[in-house]
Amino acid sequence: MIRNDIRALDAYHVPDASGLIKLDAMENPYPLPDTLRRTLAERLANADIHRYPDAAMENLREKIAARHGLAPEQILLGNGSDEIIQMLMIAADQGACAAPAPSFVMYELIAKWIRRPFTAISLDEHFNLDADRFLQVVSREKASLAFLACPNNPTGNFWAADVVERIASDFGGLLVIDEAYAPFADRDHLHLINEHVLVLRTFSKIGWAGLRLGYAVGQASLISELNKVRLPYNINTLTQIAADVLLDHFHVFDEQATRIRCERERMQRALAAFPDLQTYPSQTNFITIRVPDAGQAFAHLLKKRILIKQLGGHALLENCLRITIGTPEQNDQVLEALKELFK
Ligand SMILES: Cc1ncc(COP(=O)(O)O)c(C=O)c1O
């Protein structure tokens, strides 16, 4: 009844965070301001949920496109950028899907679901990517689709601009530059968009994780092909209305992202002062660290009611932990807990 390779998989596990300081999933720690909540509530109260949602979402796409000085035809909306990754896997030419490793786990997982061969190109011990090696492997494996998470999750770092540019110009397949962490990064890659390069964005990290809204930005011709594998009504009415309201108040989220970036820099400096603890540069809303015993550190923080992510699944992530940047108070609690272990 069910494919054996599906039976062999585990369902995506989300740990229970009730009562914990939740710093495991790269969410924005700041809740919506009260005034914005009230505006949102008024608009949502008028939602026509007895009707299917607006299927084409012209207005919403136009609002998002305008933020980038682009046309609405260049925007494809997904139920989270995860859903767009799935659309890309379905629509791209047959052939392997390639991505650096370690990187975002959904690339490999979705490839498995639809039986697309997956090729991982290992980063070096500093989590850097070698463009020559990447290009050699994708050509050898005849990859037709590749994902570059820029900045990368779970390592947090940016690969050098010339590495990304080389891959964008020399890879013959469809290249997806996944900019989930763009609000916290010093550069983006929208200028690289062309007939075989797309950029992926999400509103999850900026503060709307519960809405599930992501988008692809690309040439209109490519977007219209991908739109053919978008499930009808994939963005529900409540999300569409909420996004419309929140986009009109985007300064609130920009300001929160700035605060998160400042806290990230403070945390970087504080963590760098710990002996026995290695930090990696981050252009995201999290910091990846390496400790002598990640299991012990994870358990200690949990005892202090702080939930972070213990990384695994790749040799380069041995004893690594990923800590989402929280509010200043939450970050202080992380530092306190780590001090008990490392000072
Ligand atoms: C690199 C990267 N891409 C995409 C996503 C998925 O984001 P969304 O919430 O839009 O599905 C994540 C989430 O962690 C991510 O780290």
CA 153 to ligand 1 centroid distance, Å: 9
Q: What is the pLDDT of residue 342?
A: 85
Q: What is the pLDDT of residue 56?
A: 96
CA 294 to ligand 1 centroid distance, Å: 24
Residues of the chain with pLDDT under 70: 343
Give the domains, in start order, of the chain with CATH numbers. Answer: 4-30+251-342 (3.90.1150.10), 47-248 (3.40.640.10)
Q: How far apart are CA 235 and CA 216, in angstroms?
A: 14
Query: How far lies 21's CA from each of 18, 305, 320, 326, in Å?
Result: 9, 6, 19, 9
pLDDT in tens, 245-261: 999 999 999 999 999 99
Q: What is the pLDDT of residue 122?
A: 98
Q: What is the pLDDT of residue 247?
A: 98
User: Is the Cβ atom of 285 under 6 angstroms away from ligand 1?
Assistant: no
User: Is the Cβ atom of 111 under 6 angstroms away from ligand 1?
Assistant: no
User: Is the Cβ atom of 104 under 6 angstroms away from ligand 1?
Assistant: yes
User: Is the Cβ atom of 82 under 6 angstroms away from ligand 1?
Assistant: yes
Q: Looking at the DSSP assignment, which residues form a beta bridge with residue 317?
A: none
CA 50 to ligand 1 centroid distance, Å: 30
CA 249 to ligand 1 centroid distance, Å: 23
CA 263 to ligand 1 centroid distance, Å: 21
Q: Global pTM?
A: 0.97
Give residues with Cβ within 8 angstroms of 210, minimum separation 6: none
Q: Which atom of ligand 1 is nearest to the CA of 202?
A: 10
Q: What is the pLDDT of residue 324?
A: 98
CA 195 to ligand 1 centroid distance, Å: 23
Q: Which atom of ligand 1 is nearest to the CA of 213?
A: 10
User: Is the Cβ atom of 180 under 6 angstroms away from ligand 1?
Assistant: yes
- Best mutation site among 106, 109, 158, 201 for ligand 1 pocket (most ligand atoms within 8 Å of CB): 106
